[in-house]
Every structure is written in structure tokens, then in C-alpha cells.
Structure 1
Amino acid sequence: MTATLAATSAATETDAVVRMSGVRKVFGHGPRAVTALDGIDLAVAPGEFVCLLGASGCGKTTVLNMIAGLDRPSSGDIELTTTRPAVMFQEAALMPWLTAARNVELPLRLAGVKRTERRARTLELLDLVRLGGAGDKRPHELSGGMRQRVALARALASALQGNNGEASSLLLMDEPFSALDAITRDVLQGELLRVWEATGTAVVFVTHDVREAVRLGQRVVLLSSKPGRVVQQWSVADAPEAELTEEINGRLREVISSHAAA
């Protein structure tokens, strides 16, 4: 039997890089109002990799948007100990007129990092994502997987530049590999783990793929269907991958079935 974490995980007992307490989000007003999230409690420790899992429409992206400061909760509190969480989306969203290196360099330039330093850091990040020889290429010259690597390097430039590479940095990832073919997705999952281990960045990774969540995360957090609530959490180290995947799949099916029957 897999050991499951209580709703208040061990991360809440540390100096969390992000802590959400009783977060509720309602879109609209009056009879047409829709409650997307209802009482989310979530804490992520520095350097921790947390996968946020749930059916489509359960509020996973809304959670990321609020952590990133792109949206505000209707009630509840969100505390950050990092000043610059970075976001990586499903699409690479690169500037098509800029080279790969200039795309990575952009957040550093906007942050006022001196030219010599930002050029050096850009080269380091491109090397980190195994694109050291592709810095002068524009997005249309790169494959989908390569564009996502550039997007990852750019996100790391944003996440790490304010913290000198320390583990207090935070990277938010919204299904970044979902549009890729299975082989490319598998390769990039492995690359992401390598980069995460090398940088010590805390990661909140949104997915609806149980296998991906179990492969990548140290902790898997399952949200209920709308309105989203944390219904269960698992420590990935507590069981073999196949066994844990089967258990989480079963719990996810229960959540979806109970919502459909309501």
C-alpha cells in the first residue's frame, strides 16, 4: 500500500518557496459566477519538484497563474519567498525575429543585467539544455523539441537571475510537453530532470498525465474536478513507479466519476 501524504504536506513545515492558504477563485459575478478553486492549501519547499495533477478544467492552470501573479485569488493568501517566478507554457512562445540566444537573453536584458554578464549566462544556459551550437538560429529553424529547450533556458534565465542560482528560485510549467510527439516528450522529460538537478530550482509542473507526474515529481498533488480542491497527495519515493501510477490513475478515475455523477 502506498503511503499517502496528508493534505498538509511536510513542505508546509519548512520555509516554503510558495505557500497557498485557503485560496479560492471565482470568475464572474452573480448567478453566472463560476468557482474554479475552493480552499486550496499547497506549499512547495525550496528545490522541490511538485506535479499538479487533475482532469481538464479542474483549475491547475489557474493555480499557476495566481502563483505567477498573473491573476489574484478571490480569497485566501499566497506567499512567495522568491521575487521572480518564471513560467513555461505549452507553446514555446519565442520571439520569431530573435535568435535562440537573444530569446534566452531577453529576461536578463529586461532585468538590467549587464551585457557581458548576460551573454555569458545565456551561453551557460544554452549549454545546460544541450543547445550550445544553436544560439544563432531563429525559432523557425528549430524543431518543436528544440524550441521548448530554448523556452526552458529562457525560463531558467528569468527564474535564476534574481537569486544568483540559489534554490529559492521557482519555475512554473504548464503542460510544456503536451504538444510534442511521444519520443520527443520522453527525451525532454529526462532533460528537465537533469536540468532541475543541476540548478536546484523549485518546480510546480501542471499535467493531466499520471505517468508524466510520477516520472517527474517528488510529490504528486491531485486536484478534484471543478471546483478544484486538493484531494490527495503522494510522495513518489514511497512506492515503485508502476504501482504508484496505477494507484493514482484509480484515484483520478474516482474523482472524475464522482464529478460526472454530481
Structure 2
Amino acid sequence: MTATLEAPTPSHVDAAVTLSGVRKAFGHGPNAVLALDGVDLTVAPGEFVCLLGASGCGKSTLLNLVAGLDAPTSGSIALTTSRPAVMFQEAALMPWLTAVRNVELPLRLAGLKRGARRAKANELLSLVRLGEAGGKRPHELSGGMRQRVALARALASTLGSAEEGTPGLLLMDEPFAALDAITRDVLQAELVRVWRETDTAIVFVTHDVREAVRLGQRVVLLSSRPGRVVREWGVDGLAGADETETIEEITAHLREVISGHAAAS
């Protein structure tokens, strides 16, 4: 069985990304570490999916494979965009560039002319409510503001897909984990607003069940290593008692996964 990364499909599509039987091993022979084993997952255009699992279950590895930063050992990943964008815990902004010029970077790589990319970068900064901060450098911004700039830059990376008529795809690896609780709450709300305005598909890795239920339309639980999809929940629009009950149910299953991981270690 060989690993394949399929070419983008035509503009009328049913999925932003499809993983079929994805397996990932690091190393060779008896010392190889199997991180993912037989992962099947489809994310629809514009869908917000949250991935949960024990530490070391392969959540970040899965994102890296979808992003093209690594290749699966076997199985296939079919993307409808050639430019999935990635956002990490750290904003990873270029410290010598202003906020607007950081957002311009992917637009410059995509070949946009200076005037067009500056206008688009300013538009994206306004979208994340940083329209007045374009001339500031990263050290002049708070942690939350830097993550907003990183979000604007990630959205800029997905623009080529939208122009080609294919869904944008944003991969987020615990982007708010290093922030204080109040800033995290604010940015969660902002992310949902931006997602609704842009209709970009999002795959969001988190270890926080409440965050997953609050943000996502669907929560996917991975087993302990090697990671496999063991359970999914539709959480779109939950509120009140239904939300609380779902959080408790997901938490119970996550504890089972973590306990199983600890027992196997």
C-alpha cells in the first residue's frame, strides 16, 4: 500500500479534505513508532471540525500531513485546495516586518502586485479587528493581537483557493493554548465570527473539550497512539443542558482514552 497525495478536484466539490486509511510511522523496522493507523476523515467545505485526543495521539501529526509538511506512510489525502494554511500556538510573525507586511507575505508569494496585496492585507486586518495596527511590529502588540495577525496571514494563504473556486482550508494547532483565559475567550468568539464571514473550512486541534464544543460543528475523538478515529459528535448549535450533557459525555470518553493510554505506557 502506497501513500498518495491527490491533485485538487474540480471546483464543484463535496469535501475540503478527505483522509482515507491514513497511516503514519516514524522510523523503520522494530524501532518504528506508529503515530496514526487507518484514519478516515472527511471535512466538508466551510465545516468547522475540532480534533480531540490524549497527548501524543497524533493530532498534530495529522495536521502536518494535511498541510503537506510530511507524507503519510500509507493511505491517501485528497485536497480541494493546493494552499491549506496552518496556524500554530506561536504566532511566528517576522519581527522586522509590520503587521500589514506580515499579512502580505503569502499574497506576495502568490504573485499579487504591491497595491493589490496591500489592500487585501488591510482588509484582512480589519476583518480580525486590527485595522488600526497595520503599521505596528510584533513586539508592539499583545499576545492576543499577534495571534489575530497570524490568523489574518493564514486567511491570506487561503485566498488563492477561493479565487480558483475551491474551498479554503485552515489548519489550527492549539492556537490559543498559550493565552490567558480572558484573551482566549475573546479570540474564540472572534474566530467563530471570522469563520462565518469567510466560509473557510477549519480543522482545529485542542485538548479542551469545552473549547471544542464551543467552536466546532463536529468534534472528532482520536484514540491513544496509534491515533484512530474512535467517536464523533455533532455539536453545532448546542446550548444549555444539551451543551452541558455533550461536554460531559465527550469528557468521559476522553478520560477513557487517556486512561487507556496511561495503562499501555
Q: TM-score range by the shorter chain?
A: over 0.9
Indicate the larger mover: 91-100 or 109-118. 109-118
| Partner residue in 2 for 1:7 | none
Over the residues paired in the alignment, what is the CA RMSD in angstroms?
1.3
CA distance in structure 2 between the partners assigned to 1:142 and 1:256 by the alignment: 37
Pairing 1:10-29 to 2, within 5 Å after superposition: 15-29=14-28
Aligned amino acid, residue 246 of structure 2: L
Other structure's SS at 1:105 match = helix
Pairing 1:12-91 to 2, within 5 Å after superposition: 15-91=14-90
| Partner residue in 2 for 1:103 | 102
Q: CA deviation at 1:136?
A: 0.2
Normalised to the residue count of structure 2, the TM-score between the two structures is: 0.91
Aligned amino acid, residue 189 of structure 2: G
Deviating above 4 A after TM superposition, structure 1's stretches of 4 or more consecutive aligned residues are: none
Confirm or deny: 8 A CA contact 2:23 2:38 kept in the other structure: yes
Q: CA deviation at 1:259?
A: 2.4
CA distance in structure 2 between the partners assigned to 1:103 and 1:151 by the alignment: 8
User: Structure 1 residues 167, 218: CA separation in 2 closer, same or farther (over 3 Å shift)?
Assistant: farther
| Partner residue in 2 for 1:250 | 252
Other structure's SS at 1:24 match = strand
Aligned amino acid, residue 217 of structure 1: G
Other structure's SS at 2:177 match = coil
| Partner residue in 2 for 1:194 | 193
CA distance in structure 2 between the partners assigned to 1:149 and 1:71 by the alignment: 26
Other structure's SS at 1:194 match = helix
Indicate the larger mover: 223-232 or 156-165. 156-165
CA distance in structure 1 between the partners assigned to 2:237 and 2:83 by the alignment: 32
Indicate the larger mover: 218-227 or 240-249. 240-249
Percent of aligned pairs sharing the same letter: 76
1:180 aligns with 2:182: no
**1:156-214 superposed Cα distances (whole Å, 9 cap, x missing partner):** 00012332296601000000000000000000000000000000000000001101000
Normalised to the residue count of structure 1, the TM-score between the two structures is: 0.92
Other structure's SS at 1:237 match = coil
Confirm or deny: 8 A CA contact 1:26 1:36 kept in the other structure: yes
| Partner residue in 1 for 2:9 | none
CA distance in structure 1 between the partners assigned to 2:257 and 2:28 by the alignment: 27
Q: Which runs of 5+ in 1 are unaligned?
A: 1-13
User: Structure 1 residues 137, 152: CA separation in 2 closer, same or farther (over 3 Å shift)?
Assistant: same
Q: Which runs of 5+ in 2 are unaligned?
A: 1-12
Q: CA deviation at 1:261?
A: 2.3
Number of paired residues? 249
Confirm or deny: 8 A CA contact 1:160 1:166 kept in the other structure: no
CA distance in structure 2 between the partners assigned to 1:58 and 1:242 by the alignment: 25
1:261 aligns with 2:260: no
Aligned amino acid, residue 206 of structure 2: T
Q: CA deviation at 1:117?
A: 1.1
CA distance in structure 2 between the partners assigned to 1:135 and 1:165 by the alignment: 27
CA distance in structure 2 between the partners assigned to 1:127 and 1:166 by the alignment: 24
Other structure's SS at 1:162 match = helix
| Partner residue in 2 for 1:11 | none
Indicate the larger mover: 167-176 or 32-41. 167-176
User: Structure 1 residues 175, 166: CA separation in 2 closer, same or farther (over 3 Å shift)?
Assistant: farther
Q: CA deviation at 1:237?
A: 3.3
Confirm or deny: 8 A CA contact 1:47 1:167 kept in the other structure: no
Q: CA deviation at 1:31?
A: 1.7
Aligned amino acid, residue 218 of structure 2: R
1:203 aligns with 2:202: yes
Confirm or deny: 8 A CA contact 2:88 2:175 kept in the other structure: yes
Q: CA deviation at 1:260?
A: 2.2
Aligned amino acid, residue 257 of structure 2: V
